Amino acid sequence: MDNIASSGAYHSGKYRNLLAEYGYDGKEIADRLALGWEQLFGDREETRIYYPTGEDMGYMLDTGNLDVRTEGMSYGMMMAVQLDRRDVFDRLWKWTYKHMYMDEGENAGYFAWSCEPDGTKRSHGPAPDGEEYFALALFFASHRWGDGAPPLDYGAKARELLSACVHKGEDGIGHPMWNRHNKLIKFVPNCEYTDPSYHLPHFYELFALWANEEDRVFWTEAAAASRKYLKLACHPKTGLAPEYAYYDGMPNDERGYGHFFSDSYRVAANVGLDAEWFGATEWMREEARRIQQFFSDKHPEDYRRYTISGDPFEEKSLHPVGLIATNAMASLANPEGEFARACVELFWNTPVRKGDRRYYDNCLYLFAMLALSGSFRIWHPKS
């Protein structure tokens, strides 16, 4: 276990309720978390993104693009297992496994990243950010509730998926989701560049415990590689990361995604949760401070696309509420930081988003509520 830091909730079993530490009332925090779930998963048309269908299924709708994405489905499953909603978890997983799972072709073993709400595949390609969230949500479900009959044999499905992510292509068919040499996650399996916001070393630490035994060293190495990589990809002054980047950390702007924009917002949240679970390093504390300082003099209505060095474009942010949420979540890496409380206060005073673009913002919003209230937890196997 030397790969895992000696601090953080993994070792202590204690999760910081940073909202309470900052003086927010305990009942209000609990009420806000419950409200967030109800707003996303209830029947309020102006905020909901979850839609039950049939007798035992449901999906998360990307309300801006009117499709169902592995990103949203895996996020919904993680929210459901954190809040002990097995009914919703199973509906989402059944829909995912029926409509998104690919059992033939070069991507067999992966999930189609985009489907119509009726289940028709819009793409036969996968997106690794969905797969890594599926895997950990399934492990947590197995540990919290126990496994059921297929496809609700959560732990087995998680191990099968992670095995495909590592070993796909060894028979000459398809491609792995991680580069097996440098241990870095790819943007999509058949490319050789990455997305910094996909890097979840805190997930890989847990995969190293629960994946197939033959792959556990790989996941230990992947955790170390991703932590090292994030230091390269995040700008040393602003803390901003590009949406797409090469393996050396340099922005990849071949398709116009070499700047700080929607995907990039998740980096701050990921650093915060990694710090909460496995302990903050000095770099994590500095990364949180830098990005929070960068936005300290900017108003949400004027958030924009930026170069990673901080130069603004005319283009406004598509998801300002999501950016507020992720900057607040970064406070877990540096709770005593100069800008940490202000970022959390801004988040606390910001409601969930309404309207067509609400899906991505509100997913990040509920993750921040879970994390900042000490409710985004590691679920271990029952002894």
Residue 57, C-beta contacts closer than 8 angstroms, at least 6 positions apart: 91, 92, 94, 95, 98
In this structure, the answer to whether residues 11 and 144 fall within a common structural domain is: no
- pLDDT, one tens digit per residue, over 285-304 is 999 999 999 999 999 999 99
- How far apart (Å, rounded) are the C-alpha atoms in residues 281 and 279? 7
Q: For residue 302, what pLDDT is reported?
A: 98
CATH number for the domain spanning 277: value is 1.50.10.10
Are 375 and 233 in the same domain? Answer: yes
Same domain, 158 and 266: no
Same domain assignment for residues 84 and 99 = yes
Question: Residue 255 has what pLDDT?
Answer: 87
Domain limits for position 327: 1-48+199-383
Residues 245 and 315 in one domain: yes
CB 17 within 8 A of CB 332: no
**CB atoms < 10 A from the CB of 7, how many?**
13
Dist. CA 151–CA 66, nearest whole Å: 26
Query: For 118-158, what is each residue's pLDDT tens digit?
Result: 999 999 999 999 999 999 999 999 999 999 999 999 999 99
Tell me if 61 is assigned to some domain. Answer: yes
**Do 119 and 29 belong to one domain?**
no
358 and 262 in a single domain? The answer is yes
**Positions marked active-site:** 71, 263
What are the residue ranges in the chain where pLDDT is below 50?
1-5
Residues paired with 178 in a beta bridge? 185
DSSP string, 330-357: GGGG-TTSTTHHHHHHHHHT-PPP-STT
Q: Could you tell me whether strands 50-53 and 57-60 are parallel, antiparallel, or unpaired per DSSP bridges? A: antiparallel
17 and 68 share one domain? no
| Same structural domain, 38 and 121 | no
For the chain, what is the domain count? Answer: 2
